[in-house]
Structure 1
Amino acid sequence: MRVTMAEAVLDDRPIWPAIRRGLRCRCPNCGRGRMLRGYLKVRDTCPSCGEALYHHRADDGPAYLTILIVGHIMAPVLLIAYTVWRPSPLALAVTLSVLCVSLAAFLLPRLKGMIVAIQWSRRMHGFGSDPADA
Protein backbone atom coordinates (compact mmCIF):
# COMPACT_ATOMS: atom_id res chain seq x y z
CA MET A 1 0.00 0.00 0.00
CA ARG A 2 1.41 3.37 -1.01
CA VAL A 3 0.79 6.37 1.18
CA THR A 4 0.42 9.71 -0.55
CA MET A 5 1.68 12.95 0.91
CA ALA A 6 -1.89 14.08 1.64
CA GLU A 7 -2.52 10.92 3.67
CA ALA A 8 0.78 11.32 5.48
CA VAL A 9 -0.16 14.85 6.53
CA LEU A 10 -3.47 13.58 7.92
CA ASP A 11 -1.65 10.94 9.96
CA ASP A 12 -0.34 13.46 12.47
CA ARG A 13 2.02 12.40 15.22
CA PRO A 14 1.85 15.07 17.94
CA ILE A 15 5.22 15.66 19.56
CA TRP A 16 4.23 16.42 23.18
CA PRO A 17 2.32 13.19 23.88
CA ALA A 18 5.20 11.30 22.26
CA ILE A 19 7.73 13.10 24.47
CA ARG A 20 5.69 12.32 27.61
CA ARG A 21 5.49 8.67 26.62
CA GLY A 22 9.19 8.59 25.82
CA LEU A 23 10.11 10.09 29.19
CA ARG A 24 8.15 7.25 30.80
CA CYS A 25 10.07 4.77 28.58
CA ARG A 26 6.85 3.75 26.86
CA CYS A 27 6.06 3.26 23.18
CA PRO A 28 5.61 6.67 21.52
CA ASN A 29 2.71 5.30 19.46
CA CYS A 30 0.46 3.62 22.04
CA GLY A 31 2.00 4.56 25.41
CA ARG A 32 1.37 1.06 26.79
CA GLY A 33 4.30 -1.10 25.69
CA ARG A 34 7.74 -0.76 27.24
CA MET A 35 10.19 0.84 24.82
CA LEU A 36 13.37 -0.37 26.49
CA ARG A 37 14.53 -3.92 26.96
CA GLY A 38 16.93 -3.83 29.87
CA TYR A 39 18.54 -0.54 30.87
CA LEU A 40 19.22 1.18 27.52
CA LYS A 41 18.47 -1.32 24.75
CA VAL A 42 15.53 -0.20 22.58
CA ARG A 43 13.18 -3.00 21.55
CA ASP A 44 12.82 -3.71 17.84
CA THR A 45 9.03 -3.48 18.06
CA CYS A 46 6.51 -2.44 20.68
CA PRO A 47 5.15 -5.52 22.49
CA SER A 48 1.73 -3.89 22.75
CA CYS A 49 0.98 -2.30 19.35
CA GLY A 50 3.74 -3.72 17.15
CA GLU A 51 5.16 -0.31 16.14
CA ALA A 52 8.67 -0.70 14.69
CA LEU A 53 11.23 1.03 16.90
CA TYR A 54 14.44 -0.33 15.38
CA HIS A 55 14.82 2.77 13.17
CA HIS A 56 16.00 4.95 16.05
CA ARG A 57 19.34 6.75 16.01
CA ALA A 58 19.60 7.74 19.66
CA ASP A 59 23.33 7.22 19.87
CA ASP A 60 25.10 9.96 21.84
CA GLY A 61 22.25 12.45 22.23
CA PRO A 62 20.85 11.06 25.49
CA ALA A 63 24.30 11.00 27.10
CA TYR A 64 24.98 14.61 26.11
CA LEU A 65 21.61 15.74 27.46
CA THR A 66 22.18 13.80 30.68
CA ILE A 67 25.55 15.45 31.24
CA LEU A 68 24.05 18.87 30.47
CA ILE A 69 21.14 18.44 32.88
CA VAL A 70 23.14 16.82 35.69
CA GLY A 71 25.83 19.48 35.41
CA HIS A 72 23.32 22.32 35.58
CA ILE A 73 21.61 20.78 38.60
CA MET A 74 24.70 19.75 40.54
CA ALA A 75 26.75 22.94 40.08
CA PRO A 76 24.33 25.10 42.12
CA VAL A 77 23.95 22.27 44.66
CA LEU A 78 27.73 22.21 45.08
CA LEU A 79 27.88 25.98 45.51
CA ILE A 80 25.00 26.12 47.98
CA ALA A 81 26.21 23.13 50.01
CA TYR A 82 29.72 24.52 50.28
CA THR A 83 28.69 28.04 51.24
CA VAL A 84 25.91 27.10 53.68
CA TRP A 85 27.27 24.03 55.48
CA ARG A 86 31.04 24.13 54.84
CA PRO A 87 31.48 20.33 54.80
CA SER A 88 34.89 18.75 54.50
CA PRO A 89 36.05 18.45 50.88
CA LEU A 90 36.09 14.64 51.08
CA ALA A 91 32.51 14.46 52.38
CA LEU A 92 31.35 16.92 49.75
CA ALA A 93 33.10 15.03 46.94
CA VAL A 94 31.71 11.67 48.00
CA THR A 95 28.18 12.98 48.50
CA LEU A 96 28.07 14.87 45.22
CA SER A 97 29.61 11.97 43.32
CA VAL A 98 26.90 9.64 44.56
CA LEU A 99 24.23 12.22 43.71
CA CYS A 100 25.66 12.80 40.22
CA VAL A 101 25.86 9.11 39.38
CA SER A 102 22.37 8.45 40.78
CA LEU A 103 20.81 11.34 38.87
CA ALA A 104 22.58 10.35 35.65
CA ALA A 105 21.48 6.72 36.03
CA PHE A 106 17.91 7.89 36.57
CA LEU A 107 17.84 10.34 33.64
CA LEU A 108 19.71 8.40 30.94
CA PRO A 109 17.02 5.83 29.98
CA ARG A 110 14.29 8.47 30.16
CA LEU A 111 16.17 10.84 27.88
CA LYS A 112 16.88 7.99 25.48
CA GLY A 113 13.16 7.27 25.38
CA MET A 114 12.49 10.95 24.76
CA ILE A 115 14.97 11.10 21.85
CA VAL A 116 13.46 7.99 20.25
CA ALA A 117 9.96 9.44 20.71
CA ILE A 118 10.97 12.73 19.07
CA GLN A 119 12.45 10.84 16.14
CA TRP A 120 9.25 8.79 15.84
CA SER A 121 7.04 11.88 16.05
CA ARG A 122 9.02 13.81 13.41
CA ARG A 123 9.30 10.69 11.18
CA MET A 124 13.09 10.78 11.26
CA HIS A 125 15.49 7.95 10.38
CA GLY A 126 13.02 5.52 8.83
CA PHE A 127 10.07 6.18 11.13
CA GLY A 128 8.25 7.76 8.19
CA SER A 129 6.33 5.91 5.52
CA ASP A 130 8.91 6.45 2.76
CA PRO A 131 11.36 3.50 2.49
CA ALA A 132 14.01 5.95 1.27
CA ASP A 133 14.04 7.54 4.76
CA ALA A 134 15.61 4.45 6.30
Structure 2
Amino acid sequence: MTASVESLPGERIGLVKSMARGFVCRCPHCGEGKLFGKFLKVRPACDACGLEFHHHRADDLPPYVVIFIIGHIVGYFILELETNYDVPLWFQLSFWPIVTLGSALALLQPVKGAVVGLQYALGMGGFATLPTGPSVAIARSEEVQLGPSDNPTPGLGRA
Protein backbone atom coordinates (compact mmCIF):
# COMPACT_ATOMS: atom_id res chain seq x y z
CA MET A 1 0.00 0.00 0.00
CA THR A 2 1.52 3.28 -1.10
CA ALA A 3 0.54 6.68 0.20
CA SER A 4 -0.26 9.47 -2.21
CA VAL A 5 2.08 12.42 -2.47
CA GLU A 6 -0.56 14.67 -0.82
CA SER A 7 -0.70 12.58 2.33
CA LEU A 8 3.03 12.58 2.99
CA PRO A 9 3.79 15.13 5.71
CA GLY A 10 7.23 16.05 4.40
CA GLU A 11 6.05 16.88 0.89
CA ARG A 12 5.41 20.41 -0.37
CA ILE A 13 2.10 21.03 -2.15
CA GLY A 14 2.23 22.18 -5.79
CA LEU A 15 2.04 25.78 -6.96
CA VAL A 16 -1.50 25.87 -8.32
CA LYS A 17 -3.04 23.94 -5.42
CA SER A 18 -1.29 26.01 -2.73
CA MET A 19 -2.28 29.28 -4.44
CA ALA A 20 -5.87 28.05 -4.76
CA ARG A 21 -5.93 27.14 -1.07
CA GLY A 22 -4.55 30.58 -0.23
CA PHE A 23 -7.14 32.23 -2.49
CA VAL A 24 -9.94 30.67 -0.43
CA CYS A 25 -8.14 31.88 2.73
CA ARG A 26 -6.97 28.46 3.91
CA CYS A 27 -3.53 27.13 4.84
CA PRO A 28 -1.55 26.46 1.64
CA HIS A 29 -0.02 23.31 3.15
CA CYS A 30 -3.00 21.43 4.60
CA GLY A 31 -6.00 23.38 3.27
CA GLU A 32 -7.79 23.09 6.64
CA GLY A 33 -6.53 25.87 8.91
CA LYS A 34 -7.54 29.49 8.49
CA LEU A 35 -4.97 31.80 6.94
CA PHE A 36 -6.26 35.13 8.27
CA GLY A 37 -7.02 36.19 11.83
CA LYS A 38 -8.47 39.56 10.78
CA PHE A 39 -9.28 41.06 7.39
CA LEU A 40 -5.68 41.30 6.14
CA LYS A 41 -3.79 40.09 9.23
CA VAL A 42 -2.20 36.70 8.56
CA ARG A 43 -2.22 34.32 11.54
CA PRO A 44 1.14 33.48 13.13
CA ALA A 45 0.72 29.75 12.35
CA CYS A 46 -1.80 27.23 11.05
CA ASP A 47 -4.00 25.68 13.74
CA ALA A 48 -4.27 22.39 11.85
CA CYS A 49 -0.75 21.59 10.63
CA GLY A 50 1.51 24.05 12.44
CA LEU A 51 2.93 25.80 9.33
CA GLU A 52 4.29 29.17 10.44
CA PHE A 53 2.94 32.17 8.52
CA HIS A 54 4.56 34.99 10.49
CA HIS A 55 7.50 35.29 8.11
CA HIS A 56 5.53 35.80 4.90
CA ARG A 57 6.39 38.86 2.84
CA ALA A 58 3.33 39.61 0.72
CA ASP A 59 4.02 43.36 1.13
CA ASP A 60 2.81 45.39 -1.89
CA LEU A 61 2.15 42.65 -4.44
CA PRO A 62 -1.53 41.98 -3.52
CA PRO A 63 -2.64 45.62 -3.93
CA TYR A 64 -0.79 45.89 -7.23
CA VAL A 65 -2.44 42.74 -8.55
CA VAL A 66 -5.88 43.91 -7.37
CA ILE A 67 -5.40 47.36 -8.97
CA PHE A 68 -4.32 45.67 -12.21
CA ILE A 69 -7.32 43.31 -12.31
CA ILE A 70 -10.00 45.76 -11.15
CA GLY A 71 -8.61 48.57 -13.31
CA HIS A 72 -8.89 46.45 -16.43
CA ILE A 73 -12.36 45.12 -15.65
CA VAL A 74 -13.92 48.42 -14.53
CA GLY A 75 -12.10 50.35 -17.24
CA TYR A 76 -13.50 48.02 -19.89
CA PHE A 77 -17.06 48.42 -18.62
CA ILE A 78 -16.74 52.22 -18.38
CA LEU A 79 -15.49 52.32 -21.97
CA GLU A 80 -18.30 50.05 -23.17
CA LEU A 81 -20.93 52.10 -21.33
CA GLU A 82 -19.59 55.41 -22.65
CA THR A 83 -19.32 54.30 -26.27
CA ASN A 84 -22.54 52.29 -26.60
CA TYR A 85 -25.06 53.97 -24.28
CA ASP A 86 -26.10 57.47 -23.30
CA VAL A 87 -25.68 57.29 -19.52
CA PRO A 88 -25.94 60.45 -17.40
CA LEU A 89 -22.74 61.75 -15.87
CA TRP A 90 -24.15 61.70 -12.31
CA PHE A 91 -24.70 57.95 -12.63
CA GLN A 92 -21.18 57.36 -13.91
CA LEU A 93 -19.64 59.45 -11.11
CA SER A 94 -21.62 57.72 -8.38
CA PHE A 95 -21.76 54.12 -9.64
CA TRP A 96 -18.19 53.34 -10.77
CA PRO A 97 -16.33 54.47 -7.63
CA ILE A 98 -18.62 52.27 -5.50
CA VAL A 99 -18.13 49.29 -7.81
CA THR A 100 -14.37 49.83 -7.89
CA LEU A 101 -14.00 50.16 -4.13
CA GLY A 102 -16.32 47.23 -3.36
CA SER A 103 -14.69 44.85 -5.81
CA ALA A 104 -11.18 45.87 -4.73
CA LEU A 105 -12.02 45.22 -1.07
CA ALA A 106 -13.64 41.90 -1.98
CA LEU A 107 -10.60 40.76 -3.97
CA LEU A 108 -7.80 42.01 -1.69
CA GLN A 109 -7.91 39.22 0.94
CA PRO A 110 -8.10 36.32 -1.55
CA VAL A 111 -5.25 37.76 -3.61
CA LYS A 112 -3.10 38.18 -0.49
CA GLY A 113 -3.86 34.55 0.42
CA ALA A 114 -2.82 33.46 -3.08
CA VAL A 115 0.45 35.40 -2.73
CA VAL A 116 1.15 33.67 0.60
CA GLY A 117 0.38 30.34 -1.15
CA LEU A 118 2.81 31.30 -3.93
CA GLN A 119 5.54 32.04 -1.40
CA TYR A 120 4.89 28.71 0.34
CA ALA A 121 4.96 26.72 -2.94
CA LEU A 122 8.24 28.30 -4.02
CA GLY A 123 9.82 27.94 -0.57
CA MET A 124 10.47 31.68 -0.30
CA GLY A 125 11.57 33.26 2.96
CA GLY A 126 10.70 31.25 6.03
CA PHE A 127 8.62 28.77 4.02
CA ALA A 128 11.77 26.78 3.22
CA THR A 129 11.02 24.45 6.14
CA LEU A 130 7.84 22.41 6.32
CA PRO A 131 5.67 22.27 9.45
CA THR A 132 6.37 19.94 12.33
CA GLY A 133 3.09 20.52 14.13
CA PRO A 134 0.86 18.00 15.91
CA SER A 135 -0.82 16.62 12.79
CA VAL A 136 2.58 15.91 11.21
CA ALA A 137 3.64 13.87 14.24
CA ILE A 138 0.35 11.95 14.14
CA ALA A 139 0.71 11.31 10.41
CA ARG A 140 4.26 10.04 10.87
CA SER A 141 3.20 7.63 13.60
CA GLU A 142 0.54 6.23 11.27
CA GLU A 143 3.05 5.40 8.53
CA VAL A 144 3.56 1.74 7.77
CA GLN A 145 6.20 0.30 10.10
CA LEU A 146 8.50 -2.41 8.85
CA GLY A 147 8.60 -5.55 10.94
CA PRO A 148 11.68 -7.22 12.41
CA SER A 149 14.18 -8.52 9.92
CA ASP A 150 16.94 -11.05 9.77
CA ASN A 151 19.45 -8.24 9.44
CA PRO A 152 21.98 -8.48 12.30
CA THR A 153 22.80 -4.75 12.09
CA PRO A 154 20.74 -2.92 14.72
CA GLY A 155 18.62 -0.01 13.51
CA LEU A 156 18.34 -1.15 9.92
CA GLY A 157 15.14 -2.76 8.70
CA ARG A 158 14.44 -4.66 5.51
CA ALA A 159 15.51 -2.99 2.33
Q: TM-score, normalised by structure 2?
A: 0.72
Q: For each residue in 1:81-134, what CA deviation from the matched residue of structure 2 results, as whole angstroms up to 9, or x when unmatched? A: 22233211121121111110011001100000000000011100111039xxxx
In 1, the alpha carbon distance for the partners of 2:44 and 2:111 equals 18
In 2, the alpha carbon distance for the partners of 1:41 and 1:51 equals 16
Are 1:50 and 2:55 counterparts?
no
In 2, the alpha carbon distance for the partners of 1:79 and 1:118 equals 33
In 2, the alpha carbon distance for the partners of 1:129 and 1:30 equals 14
Partner of 1:63: 63
* Cα contact 1:13–1:122 (8 A) shared by 2: no
Partner of 2:104: 104
Are 1:37 and 2:40 counterparts?
no
> How many residues are matched?
121
What amino acid is the match of 1:25?
A: C
Q: Runs of at least 4 residues of structure 1 off by over 6 A?
A: none
Partner of 2:113: 113
- Unaligned 5+ segments in structure 1 are 1-9
In 2, the alpha carbon distance for the partners of 1:72 and 1:105 equals 16
SS of 1:27 mapped into structure 2: coil
Partner of 1:14: 14
In 2, the alpha carbon distance for the partners of 1:21 and 1:28 equals 5
* Cα contact 1:63–1:108 (8 A) shared by 2: yes
Instruction: Please say which of residues 75-84 and 115-124 is displaced more in the overlay.
Output: 75-84
* Cα contact 2:13–2:28 (8 A) shared by 1: no
What amino acid is the match of 1:69?
A: I
Are 1:74 and 2:74 counterparts?
yes
Q: For each residue in 1:40-75, what CA deviation from the matched residue of structure 2 results, as whole angstroms up to 9, or x when unmatched? A: 000000122211111100010000000000001011
* Cα contact 1:19–1:114 (8 A) shared by 2: yes
Partner of 1:86: 86
What amino acid is the match of 2:111?
A: L
1:12 shift after superposition: 3.6
Q: TM-score, normalised by structure 1?
A: 0.85
